[in-house]
Amino acid sequence: MSHRSPRPSPDRDSEPYWQALRESELRLQRCSGCGALRWPPRALCNRCRSFDAHWERLSGRGRLVSWVRTHQVFAPAYRDEVPYRTVQVALLEQDDILVIGGWQGGDDPVVGQHVEARFTVLPAAAEDEESFVLLDWAPHLGVAGEQD
């Protein structure tokens, strides 16, 4: 998709996440209390309630949990984009973290397949806008035997 709308609206918790994507990295907080990764970005861990964490670069790999193909135009910006595919991915490092993203593969996604991140630049549409990078996904092109 060439045009995405609305643009992300980072908040005080999520700004480092969006900044990492601008640097073509998937970074999440790892809890200093229990070691769990946090999703979405937020100040406290929902397992151990620690407020301490550090940002960690992840592999950008995961497994495809589900996907949909949208035909209905739900917002005017998507009038020329339909039909488009959206995927739900469980991250390799912690498979209870499920993220939504666009699909950059040629073939349709397959539930269970190994996928990897694609960092899609969303250019600034006006002078007073920032560019953004969105987290999309594509089939993982691993070498033989590396799949698991």
Partner 1 sequence: MVASHFLRDRVAIAGIGYTEFSKDSGVSTLTLAARAVLAALDDAGLSPDQLDGLGTFRVGDSEIPHVVAQALGMRDLLWNLDLFGGGSASHALVGQAALAVAAGVADYVVCYRALNARSGFRMGGTGRPPVDVTETQYQAPYGYFAPSQQFAMAARAHMSRYGTTHEQLGTVAVQQRAFAVDNARARMREPITLDDYFASRWVVEPFRLLDCCLETDGAVALLLTTPERARDLRRTPVWISGAAWGAGQTLYSNQQPDPTRTAAANLAPRLYAMAGVAPGDIDFAEIYDCFSYSVLVQLEDYGFCAKGEAGPFVASGATARGGELPVNTHGGFLSEGYVHGLNHVSEAVLQLRGEAGARQVPGAEIALSTAQPGYVSGATSALVLRRGA
Stretch that binds partner 1, among 11-19, 52-60, 123-131, 138-146 (CB under 8 A): 11-19
Count of CB atoms situated within 10 Å of the CB of 78: 17
Report d(CA 83, CA 67) in Å as an integer.
Answer: 13
Q: Is residue 115 a contact residue for partner 1 (CB under 8 A)?
A: no
Report d(CA 88, CA 45) in Å as an integer.
Answer: 22
Binding test (CB under 8 A) with partner 1, winner from 94, 119, 138, 139:
94
Please name the amino acid found at residue 10: P
Report d(CA 64, CA 53) in Å as an integer.
Answer: 27
Residue 136, Ramachandran bin (φ over 0: left; ψ between -120 and 50: alpha; else beta): beta
Q: Is residue 19 a contact residue for partner 1 (CB under 8 A)?
A: no
Stretch that binds partner 1, among 10-18, 54-62, 123-131, 140-148 (CB under 8 A): 10-18
Report d(CA 59, CA 89) in Å as an integer.
Answer: 13
Cβ closest to partner 1, residue 111 vs residue 124: 111
Closest separation in Å from C-beta 143 to partner 1: 27
Residues that bind partner 1 (CB under 8 A): 1, 4-11, 13-14, 39-40, 46-47, 65-76, 78, 81, 83-84, 86, 88, 90, 94-102, 111-112, 122, 132, 134
